[in-house]
């Protein structure tokens, strides 16, 4: 496949935004190769090892052509089946609708209020960039413009080309949907965002943001109003 300069630049900035390092130092695939090398073997004989058939998973994570930027299907053979979206028993005192992030196990839960939760597989902050505590959804964005923080531009001058913002699109680090996390009226710079990178799920790769597969993020976004409480557990 031929990648033009604009695509290459966008993908490079995707690495910078989510991993806090220049992508030229190490590619996304090679970065995750050690942890993802065996994932393709998890789908055996048309079924996964965690109760969902391969056909069901492919349907769940199929293309979304009606979007402003048509979303491609996720290659589910690159995702450990335990990270597929599902309803699970979940005991918590948090109110229905609350989002609970479990970075130690790479899960995000949406509390359903009947002793269950919807569970999504996630990528999370890498070592040294994880955080915990309470926050809330201060705003929501579809196909958001991404603007690198000034601190990032100082560390990585190549980000300066997007100082006025990178328009929404498939190569934008924030993806199709974004929940912006706030504390005490201030934007934390952390988000829950949509990712097309199947191999990132179940890994610590970001500078503190939480990523869900795009189809999962749309599912969560559609059920999450502004002011929703978000609890990030210790890793």
Q: Locate the domains of the chain by residue range.
A: 5-232
Q: Dihedral (C-alpha) 154, 149, 31, 27: value to the nearest 10 degrees? A: -70
The reply to whether the predicted model has a pTM over 0.75 is: yes
Residues written for the chain: 235
Scanning the structure block, which residue is given the tokens 């710079």? 189
The candidate with the shortest Cα–Cα distance to 78, out of 196, 194, 207, 174, is 196
Using an 8 Å Cβ cutoff, are 214 and 74 in contact? Answer: yes
Task: Look at residue 62 in the predicted model and tell me its pLDDT.
Answer: 98
In order, the DSSP letters of the chain are ----HHHHHHHHHHHHHHHSS-GGGS-HHHHHHHHHTTGGGGSBTTB-SSS-BHHHHHHHT--BTTSSSPBPPP-GGGS-GGGS-EEEE---SSPTT-EEEETTTTEEEEE-SSSEEEEEE-BEEPTT----EEEEEEEEEESPPB---HHHHHH-GGGGGGTT-B-SSTTSTT-SEEEEEEETTEEEEEEEEEE--GGGTTSEEESS-EEEEHHHHHHHHTT--TT-EEEE---
The domain made up of 5-232 has a fold known as L,D-transpeptidase catalytic domain-like (2.40.440)
Task: Look at residue 108 in the predicted model and tell me its pLDDT.
Answer: 98
Q: How do the pLDDT tens digits run along the chain, 235 residues long? A: 222 333 334 444 444 444 443 333 223 333 233 333 333 333 333 444 467 899 999 999 999 999 999 999 999 999 999 999 999 999 999 999 999 999 999 999 999 989 999 999 999 999 999 999 999 999 999 999 999 888 889 988 998 999 999 999 999 999 999 999 999 999 999 999 999 999 999 999 998 999 999 999 999 999 999 999 999 999 8
Task: Look at residue 149 in the predicted model and tell me its pLDDT.
Answer: 82
């Amino acid at each position: 496949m031929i990648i033009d300069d604009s695509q290459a630049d966008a993908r490079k900035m995707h690495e910078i935004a989510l991993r806090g390092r220049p992508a030229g130092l190490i590619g996304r695939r090679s970065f995750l190769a050690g942890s993802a090398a065996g994932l393709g073997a998890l789908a055996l004989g048309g079924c996964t090892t965690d109760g969902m058939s391969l056909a069901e998973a492919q349907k769940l994570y199929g293309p979304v052509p009606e979007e402003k930027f048509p979303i491609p299907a996720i290659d589910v053979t690159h995702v450990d089946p335990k990270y597929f979206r599902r309803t699970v028993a979940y005991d918590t005192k948090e109110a229905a609708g609350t989002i609970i992030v479990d970075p130690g196990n790479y899960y995000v839960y949406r509390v359903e209020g009947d002793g269950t939760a919807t569970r999504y597989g996630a990528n999370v902050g890498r070592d040294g960039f994880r955080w915990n505590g309470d926050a809330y959804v201060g705003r929501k964005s579809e196909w958001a413009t991404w603007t690198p923080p000034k601190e990032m531009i100082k560390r990585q001058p190549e980000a300066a080309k997007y100082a006025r913002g990178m328009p929404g699109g498939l190569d934008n680090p924030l993806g199709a949907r974004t929940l912006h996390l706030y504390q005490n009226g201030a934007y934390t710079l952390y988000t829950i965002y949509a990712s097309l990178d199947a191999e990132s799920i179940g890994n610590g790769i970001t500078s503190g943001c939480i990523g869900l597969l795009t189809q999962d993020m749309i599912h969560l976004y559609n059920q999450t109003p502004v002011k929703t409480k978000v609890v990030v557990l210790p890793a």
